[in-house]
Structure 1
Amino acid sequence: MPSPPPRLRTARFAELTPFEVYGLCRLRVDVFVVEQQCPYPELDGRDVEPGTVHLWLEDDGEVAATIRVLDDGATRAIGRVATGAGHRGRGLAARLMEAGIGLCEGFPITLGAQAHLEGWYERFGFRRSGPGYVEDGIPHVPMRRPAS
């Protein structure tokens, strides 16, 4: 019998249990620090803002993929898109992006995409909105999606 699909979870920081915070941070460290060698991807302070919504897919009690949606006033921003190595190729990040975009109805959305993923984000209606830049040694491009 096949296992159930990963379960979509959403919460603001104050609603997260310590185990959920650990799972989300552990996944980010595995993806951003270990795999991509980015220093300090967690330490921007935006995770704890009251308007930030964390979305993740839980597979057999493990955080398989995650994103966060920031409230920037007149816009929203999606970021910290990460999928665990053992969960890739199943469309989990796309499922989270769709859910995150759904939370942003009526607002334009911005994001800073790793340059090699620009085409992937275009699938969701994002378009490059400025010149590229380097963040943590990785080429990025700013992208924007109009309000829906």
Structure 2
Amino acid sequence: MNWKALDFEQITARELYLILRARSAVFVVEQSRVHLDPDGRDETSVHVFAVEDISRSMPVIAYARLHAGGAAAEVVVDKILTSPLRRCDGTAHALIERVIAAAGERWPGRSVRLLAPLDLRGFYEAFGFRKNEGPFDERGVHTIGMVRKSRLSMCLGAYLERTYRMDAGCIDTVEEI
């Protein structure tokens, strides 16, 4: 298995074709989600994926797309998939670990946000994601929004909390003369 985390410009034409083919196989064919998959975000995203034997017709076994979330200072992860042949074998776990690492490298200090099927909540919580919205119906699937705070933002938050508590406990002892 060969893992890659590439900007759009770094992806070869063959890799792009295989990524789009895998996304269509999972989202359009398997999950019956009729939609325009190339949505204009691919060109500004980081693409994390694993391939096995590139000469096969469906070598992309795991994939996720990461892009800046705009004003919220978040990284958005979407188009998350694993090949049906590689589910429940640790591939999805390896994908999310690589997604978190890529987000931290590219956008240090930002939270990571994704939408997850409700039945995968526990899977994502194992990586530090926490539910922040939902559940709601997303094309027939009960879905929740989840966020994972970055270690940097968690450390900064803890520091500010400690500092605030210490300042709140201080008493001004300056006397007027």
TM-score computed with the length of structure 1 as normaliser: 0.88
In the other structure, the counterpart of 2:51 is 58
Aligned residues with identical type, % of pairs: 33
**Aligned positions of 1:79-94 closer than 5 A:** 79-94=78-93
Question: 1:1-148, aligned counterparts within 5 Å?
Answer: 6-40=1-35, 42-49=37-44, 52-61=45-54, 62-73=59-70, 74-105=73-104, 106-148=109-151
Q: Which amino acid aligns with 1:147?
A: S
The separation in 2 between residues aligned to 1:76 and 1:35, in whole angstroms, is 27
- Mapped partners of 2:35, 2:90: distance in 1: 27
Larger relative contact order (Cα-Cα within 8 Å, sequence gap ≥ 6): 1
Unaligned runs of 5+ in 2: 152-177
Equivalents in 2 of 1:94, 1:123: separation in Å? 10
Q: Residues 75-98 of structure 1: CA distance to partner in whole angstroms, max 9, x if unpaired?
A: 111121111112222211211111
* Contact 1:33–1:41 (Cα < 8 Å) also in 2: no
- Measured after TM superposition, the shift of residue 121 of structure 1 is 0.7
- The structure in which a higher percent of residues are helix is 2
Q: CA-to-partner distance for each residue in 1:47-82, whole Å, 9 max, x for gaps?
A: 112xx1001111111111111111124111112111
Shift of 1:32: 1.1
Query: Equivalents in 1 of 2:14, 2:37: separation in Å?
Result: 16
Q: 1:43 to 1:136 in 2, by over 3 A?
A: farther
Query: Any conservation in 1 of the 2:63–2:79 contact (CA below 8 Å)?
Result: yes
Task: Give the letter aligned to residue 16 of structure 1.
Answer: I
Structure 1 unaligned regions, length at least 5: 1-5
| TM-score normalised by the chain length of structure 2 | 0.75
Q: How many equivalent residue pairs?
A: 141
Runs of 4+ in structure 1 off by over 4 angstroms are: none
Offset from partner CA, 1:102-143 (integer Å, 9 cap, x none)? 122221111011111111111110010012222222121000
- Is the partner of 1:130 in helix, strand or coil? strand
Residues 81 and 93 in structure 1, CA contact (< 8 A), matched pair in contact too: no
